[in-house]
């Protein structure tokens, strides 16, 4: 027997994704965005190299392409590290933070 609560929750999460245009992302872009979100939830600061090495999404050029896309559409923010100007730090944008916060509320 199907559990209706699961499907109601799934529909609610998809509604949040659509509102914040996360439904427009393909799976690798979503995986990178989730990787960044998990790091933030764990209070870890990521740089682009961390994402390239640890996300498991693909080759460095592919990951760089996705990071650039996520930044261009306003879901992440990249900035140069003050400690090491060669590093580019990556965080969720306020839009992505709100989307993940709302999805968390739906899942509770």
Average pLDDT of the segment spanning 22-46: 92
Average pLDDT of the segment spanning 20-28: 88
Q: Is 20:33 a contact under the CB 8 Å cutoff? A: no
d(CA 98, CA 84): 29
Mean pLDDT, all residues of the chain: 89
Q: Is 88:80 a contact under the CB 8 Å cutoff? A: yes
d(CA 24, CA 18): 8
pLDDT at position 46 is 94
pLDDT at position 2 is 61
pLDDT at position 67 is 95
Average pLDDT of the segment spanning 36-45: 93
Architecture of the domain delimited by 4-107: Orthogonal Bundle (1.10)
d(CA 107, CA 65): 31
Q: How far apart are the first and last CA of the chain?
A: 22
- 1 has pLDDT over 70: no
Quick: pLDDT tens for 52-101: 999 888 889 999 999 999 999 999 999 998 998 989 999 999 999 988 88
């Amino acid at each position: 027997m199907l559990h209706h609560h699961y499907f109601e929750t799934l529909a609610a999460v998809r509604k949040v994704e659509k509102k914040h245009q996360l439904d427009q992302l393909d799976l690798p872009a979503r995986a990178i965005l989730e990787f960044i979100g998990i790091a933030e939830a764990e209070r870890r600061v990521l740089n682009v190299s961390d994402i390239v090495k640890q996300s498991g999404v693909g080759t460095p050029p592919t990951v760089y392409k996705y990071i650039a896309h996520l930044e261009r559409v306003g879901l992440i923010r990249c900035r140069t590290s003050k400690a090491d100007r060669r590093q580019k730090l990556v965080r969720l944008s306020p839009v992505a933070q709100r989307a993940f916060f709302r999805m968390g509320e739906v899942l509770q």
